[in-house]
Structure 1
């Protein structure tokens, strides 16, 4: 990967969108390869690269232009991926614990599960129509963020944000009832 001129990086950091587009084009492929190597998931790697560039653009005024931009980019990307993997691991652990509890469930527990299921359904019904539609397309329909975004003509980031908010609200409501 040939070095990008420091002038272009300086211009991008100062808010020049055309220069930033050049920085993005220059680093996108190596950043994507790096992300795929760590995540083993092309779609999520693309999301991470996209998100890290948005974050860099938003925080460009805090970037020291005298430091190595490439190191900065890959450090940000690595940290973002590690945070994601920690959250994923936590989510998988919670899912595993849930499955273990389900295996030990008795008939008495079945009633509690049914109540919890009704509470969950009520919580889903209480979501806004758009948020509910996005959640159902993802969970029941098995649609990817990209597929949902295209079918609803919204950004993939909006889909992601709406799913995070929906799941957070559902968790809160089900935990309060449980």
Structure 2
């Protein structure tokens, strides 16, 4: 990977969009390879690379141009990927706990389960129309992020973000009521 001149990086940090585009083009492929090596999912790796560059653009004023930009970029990317992996693990753990609870359900638990269902439906009804639509397409319709994005003509990241926020709100509302 040929070194990008410090001038271009400095211009990008100063807000020069053309210079930032050069930085993006220069680092995109190695960042993508790095992401794929950690995530083993090309589509999610591409999302991470886009997200990290958006974050860098938004926080460019905080970047020290005297430090190694490549190290900064890959450290940010690594941290973002690790955070994502932790969220995924937490989601899998929640699903596993849910399945274990469902297996242990007895007649006594049936009333609690019905109460939770009522709370869950109320929480879903309290979501914004768009967020509710995305959630229902995913859960009831079994649609993937990509399918939802295409049918609603929005980005896959928007679908992902809306689902994360919806599920977080549902968890909070159902847990607080108990």
What is the TM-score with the length of structure 2 in the denominator? 0.91
1:45 paired residue number: 45
Aligned partners of 2:142, 2:42: CA distance in 1, in Å? 17
TM-superposed deviation, 1:93: 1.7
Q: How does 1:17-166 map to 2 (within 5 A)?
A: 17-166=17-166
After superposition, the CA RMSD in angstroms is 1.6
Aligned partners of 1:43, 1:55: CA distance in 2, in Å? 18
- Between stretches 147-156 and 122-131, larger displacement belongs to 147-156
- Between stretches 159-168 and 60-69, larger displacement belongs to 159-168
1:67-104 per-residue CA deviation (whole Å, 9 max, x = no partner) reads 11111100000011111112221222222122222211
TM-superposed deviation, 1:139: 2.2
Aligned partners of 2:111, 2:85: CA distance in 1, in Å? 35
3-state secondary structure, aligned to 2:154: coil
- Between stretches 130-139 and 145-154, larger displacement belongs to 145-154
What is the TM-score with the length of structure 1 in the denominator? 0.91
3-state secondary structure, aligned to 2:143: coil
3-state secondary structure, aligned to 1:134: helix
Aligned partners of 1:97, 1:136: CA distance in 2, in Å? 22
TM-superposed deviation, 1:3: 1.6
Aligned partners of 1:8, 1:170: CA distance in 2, in Å? 45
Aligned partners of 1:156, 1:11: CA distance in 2, in Å? 31
Aligned partners of 1:55, 1:98: CA distance in 2, in Å? 34
Aligned partners of 1:81, 1:141: CA distance in 2, in Å? 28
Aligned partners of 2:16, 2:76: CA distance in 1, in Å? 21
TM-superposed deviation, 1:62: 0.8
Aligned partners of 2:153, 2:15: CA distance in 1, in Å? 28
2:169 paired residue number: 169
Aligned partners of 1:36, 1:122: CA distance in 2, in Å? 40
Aligned partners of 2:126, 2:62: CA distance in 1, in Å? 41
